Structure 1
Amino acid sequence: MSDLIERALRSADDTDVVVMGDGVLGETGRVFTRLFDGARGIVVADGNTWAVAGEQVTASLRDAGVELAEPYVFPASPSVYAEYENVELLRELLGGQDVRAVVIGSGTLNDLVKKASDELGRRYMVVCTAASMDGYAAFGASVSVDGFKTTLTCRAPQGLIVDLPTLAEAPRRCTATGVGDLIEKIPAGADWILADELGIEPVDQGSWDLAQGRLRAAISDPQGLVDRNPGSFTALAEGLVLSGLSMQKYRISSRPASGAGHLFSHVWEMEHLGMEQDPPLTHGFKVGLGTLATLSLWQNVVDMDVEAIDTEAAVAAWRSREDTEAYVRSWFTGNMVEPAVKQTLDKYLTADQLRERIELIKAKWPAITARARAQLIPPEQAESILKGVGAFYHPQQVGLDRRRFKDTYLRCRMIRSRYTLPDTLFELGVLTEQVDRLFAPDGFWGRRPWTE
């Protein structure tokens, strides 16, 4: 385990122990007794994660003298969904017993147990079974509430067991989705730089260092991950754990690890894209596509001449608050409408505020683009990494046609008040124009084949 993780734990508010290495499933009982001395335990899993580690984890807990309640195992299929109804189910189950949960695997299971335990005022621990996402150590849980995907406040696990051989033996698609989730930290960092330069959300250097410190190493060897090389999995696992710890440290939101690329994924998740598949389309696969979407947009605009933008024309074309609400409503249906309206209006600017913002963007653009260039990688490089690990790299691979994918560029900024590159381009009045460039014959998406 890296020194960076050890240092991060010394300042972490929630997580006290991370045990990462070979053959560490047997450490579960020791860690449980250290954290929850004298408490009863309950193992929560699904059919898949139980098959991977259920017997070993249970044996380790019993060997350590932990009294165990009957385990709760969700079915292997259909996959459990990260919706609040399942939080309530687990809260009722755990609340009826004086137990501390040990959840085995998956980001969804971890988020559900994380939120249910927090609502009961209890701590829990997690046994990671795949390098599939960065939420294991994260503060907050990504859960759908009344159909709208949101990050709910809750404490991170008090302990993590990260058995590297278990991660390496997970299905290849699990590793690919972890790379998809992690690689988005690159454009997410550029989005944070943008918000920092405009005085909207300053970069927290400690959180930044955790999210970005091992990022390039973690995604640098896609073939090694395919070949299940131990060193490659160590780097990926450390990158994912550190990303989670960065959110735990920042606490305000998932900003250190989530930018516009994640917003693409959240739109599609709220529309249940790929949920009918078996297994369902994963979060990381969608985030990987969101990463390509935002990297290609950044690639276009770092050379944009913002001084040529007519400020007064942009202000004259700006919608009123009432018209903005109507505009948002025209883009969404069902349970997505009201939350999208609220998130959009939370960052609404008056005409006078917009004028000031545009002038600030113009003044700060040289600094923004200089820092962004140092942070970003070409979308073609990200595409190659995603291809290399078996992740998706074209919208039609996940059932998105050109129109729906293109529209997501315009819609994603409306589902979160978080400020990202699409917000800047929208304020400048050039978002649609810049997106059109991507789909022109010589644009990033225009150069890729589409089956109509």
Structure 2
Amino acid sequence: MANADFALTTKKLDVGRDIISHVPVIFSDFMASGGYSPLVIADEITWEVAGRQVQTELDTAGLSPAAPFIFPGTPMLYADEKAIAKAQDALSRHPNCRCIAVGAGSINDIVKAASGALGQPYMVVATAPSVDGYTSAGAAVSIHGFKQTVPCPAPVVVVADTGILSAAPYDMIAAGYADLAAKLPAGADWLVADFFGTHLLHPAVWDMIQTPLHAQVRSSAGIAARDPSTISSIFTGLCNTGFAMQRMHDSRPASGAEHLMSHVWEMDHLEHDGLPVSHGFKVALGTLASTAFYEEFFALGCDALRSRLSAWKKPSWEDREQEICSWLKGQHNLDDVLRVSREKFPAPSLWDEMLESLCSKWDSLNDIIRKQLIPFPELREHFVTAGCPVEPADIGLSREEFHKGMHVSGMIRNRFTILDLMFITGVYDELEEPLMNSGKWFTRFA
């Protein structure tokens, strides 16, 4: 797959200490052309965190902001069709305004979707370093109970006060750290896809995310201490991920098998202690599982894999179709999964070429992946330090739910990952077993 460069929608990222006072000037420079006034959208929580100050600064600067639209703080706000409709209605009632979203993932996605539907630009004042979606071209929303990404433009401006980010609820900080750490195995998946020629690397985009990534993931002690400079680095890394997706109009730079596992658990409405599990915490478990899969896979050794392949009968599409139906029978997305899996099911000749290339260049690929990843024990320790989940039980996953996430994730997206590498070599079931039952990687299940 060829890569293309697209212009960035986001024109300014302003991250620093005590910078809410910058908002009026930034709005005037980037949003007010045509005589538009600001409209702040927040919820009751983010209004107190930063929204009230933003409104005061705008008023003091003489920008005549409209009365703010504030969602209730409880129950927890979700980016769904109802919330989007309310934000869209608020914007429609103020045609001479442009929106400033004040909040984190949900507020940003709600306003992004609403503004996108109306063809309007918006800016965001971030209140937590919790997701990489601030600067992505698309809103992660729930429509009729099912999570999906709605295409819409990224914000024109992102403003983030490091004092506010560092004071965010700690689980949101940890979730953002985990979402950034996920780019390690996601990067490994992209390297494997590049190796087989299914999705070539984009060097400039790769460097945006990957060059500082090892140091950022190894800064877990600074995360735990709420160190503003460390949290600023994490937030900037998350925003750079969004910029990378803007550059490619594709989420390949940001997500691999670990995100696909998260999507499976999300579609099953995973909860822990009666509350939905955050995206970052689901991705944390997927990141550890994907890292473990890579270590198990390359521990097989090339000679042993050749021996297995010589005695292995590749499954037909009919076999794969039957397996998918056995896992997803009765689910609303079965037809879509079958279509996607059929699209990426390799033709026999291509399959043989892929296996030959893998075996002939095993040591080279192994070395590339080893350098990309942080070893599982070290990564797990950083997650512990940063307060991220490290066991399935930490996010309410039973053994069966964990197994489903690992297995079904390889079926739902036409994106080559470690899961596809395991499938084309016939070791999927074999490598899942130690992750669930050996006690080497995970020990506690809900």
The two structures share one fold, judged by TM-score above 0.5:
yes
CA distance change for structure 1 residues 23 and 432 in 2, over 3 Å: closer, same or farther? same
Partner of 1:34: 29
Q: Show CA shifts across 1:325-381 (max 9, x none).
A: 343232224333233223322312233433333233333433321211110011121
1:15 aligned to 2:10?
yes
Greater alpha carbon shift after TM alignment, 146-155 vs 210-219: 146-155
Query: Aligned equivalents of 1:361 and 1:217: distance in 2?
Result: 30
- Alpha-carbon shift at residue 286 of structure 1 (Å): 0.8
- Alpha-carbon shift at residue 289 of structure 1 (Å): 0.9
- Alpha-carbon shift at residue 94 of structure 1 (Å): 2.1
Partner of 2:246: 248
Give the secondary structure class of the aligned counterpart of 1:413: coil
Give the secondary structure class of the aligned counterpart of 1:13: coil
- Alpha-carbon shift at residue 103 of structure 1 (Å): 0.7
Partner residue of 1:212 out of 210, 213, 225: 210
Asked if the contact 2:260–2:409 (Cα under 8 Å) also holds between the matched residues in 1, the reply is yes
Give the secondary structure class of the aligned counterpart of 2:409: helix
1:423 aligned to 2:420?
yes
Partner residue of 1:271 out of 268, 281, 293: 268
- Alpha-carbon shift at residue 230 of structure 1 (Å): 2.3
Q: Show CA shifts across 1:7-29 (max 9, x none).
A: xxxx9521111111110111111
Asked if the contact 2:127–2:168 (Cα under 8 Å) also holds between the matched residues in 1, the reply is yes
Partner of 2:286: 290
Partner residue of 2:128 out of 127, 130, 139: 130
Q: Show CA shifts across 1:375-419 (max 9, x none).
A: 001112121111112121111111111222123211111221111
1:112 aligned to 2:110?
yes
Partner of 1:6: none
CA distance change for structure 1 residues 85 and 362 in 2, over 3 Å: closer, same or farther? farther
Asked if the contact 2:284–2:388 (Cα under 8 Å) also holds between the matched residues in 1, the reply is yes
Partner of 2:277: 281
Asked if the contact 1:83–1:145 (Cα under 8 Å) also holds between the matched residues in 2, the reply is yes
CA distance change for structure 1 residues 276 and 436 in 2, over 3 Å: closer, same or farther? closer
The 5 Å alignment of 1:148-227 reads 148-227=146-225
What letter matches 1:288 in structure 2? A
Asked if the contact 1:302–1:373 (Cα under 8 Å) also holds between the matched residues in 2, the reply is no
Give the secondary structure class of the aligned counterpart of 1:41: strand
What letter matches 1:124 in structure 2? Y
Partner of 1:375: 372
Asked if the contact 1:146–1:335 (Cα under 8 Å) also holds between the matched residues in 2, the reply is no
Query: Aligned equivalents of 1:107 and 1:329: distance in 2?
Result: 34
What letter matches 1:234 in structure 2? S
Asked if the contact 2:289–2:435 (Cα under 8 Å) also holds between the matched residues in 1, the reply is no
Asked if the contact 2:131–2:280 (Cα under 8 Å) also holds between the matched residues in 1, the reply is yes
Query: Aligned equivalents of 1:271 and 1:113: distance in 2?
Result: 26
CA distance change for structure 1 residues 67 and 155 in 2, over 3 Å: closer, same or farther? same
Query: Aligned equivalents of 1:349 and 1:334: distance in 2?
Result: 25
Query: Aligned equivalents of 1:363 and 1:66: distance in 2?
Result: 65
CA distance change for structure 1 residues 71 and 176 in 2, over 3 Å: closer, same or farther? same
Partner of 1:24: 19
Asked if the contact 1:148–1:336 (Cα under 8 Å) also holds between the matched residues in 2, the reply is no
The 5 Å alignment of 1:328-367 reads 328-332=324-328, 333-367=330-364
Give the secondary structure class of the aligned counterpart of 2:410: helix
1:94 aligned to 2:85?
no
Q: Unaligned 5+ residue runs, structure 1? A: 1-10
Greater alpha carbon shift after TM alignment, 336-345 vs 384-393: 336-345
CA distance change for structure 1 residues 146 and 313 in 2, over 3 Å: closer, same or farther? farther
Partner of 1:397: 394
CA distance change for structure 1 residues 330 and 451 in 2, over 3 Å: closer, same or farther? closer
CA distance change for structure 1 residues 323 and 112 in 2, over 3 Å: closer, same or farther? farther
Query: Aligned equivalents of 1:171 and 1:126: distance in 2?
Result: 19
Give the secondary structure class of the aligned counterpart of 2:125: strand
Root-mean-square deviation (CA, aligned residues, Å) is 2.2
- Alpha-carbon shift at residue 311 of structure 1 (Å): 4.5
Asked if the contact 1:147–1:336 (Cα under 8 Å) also holds between the matched residues in 2, the reply is no
Partner of 2:408: 411
- Alpha-carbon shift at residue 120 of structure 1 (Å): 1.7
Query: Aligned equivalents of 2:320 and 2:371: distance in 1?
Result: 35
Query: Aligned equivalents of 1:121 and 1:96: distance in 2?
Result: 15
CA distance change for structure 1 residues 417 and 275 in 2, over 3 Å: closer, same or farther? farther
Partner of 2:3: none
The 5 Å alignment of 1:60-71 reads 60-71=57-68
Q: Show CA shifts across 1:281-311 (max 9, x none).
A: 2111111111111111111112333452555
Q: Show CA shifts across 1:107-152 (max 9, x none).
A: 1221221122122211110001011111111222222344443333
Give the secondary structure class of the aligned counterpart of 1:54: helix
Counting aligned pairs with the same residue, the percent is 34
- Alpha-carbon shift at residue 249 of structure 1 (Å): 1.6
What letter matches 1:417 in structure 2? N
Greater alpha carbon shift after TM alignment, 293-302 vs 235-244: 235-244
Partner residue of 1:258 out of 241, 255, 265: 255
Query: Aligned equivalents of 1:346 and 1:88: distance in 2?
Result: 35
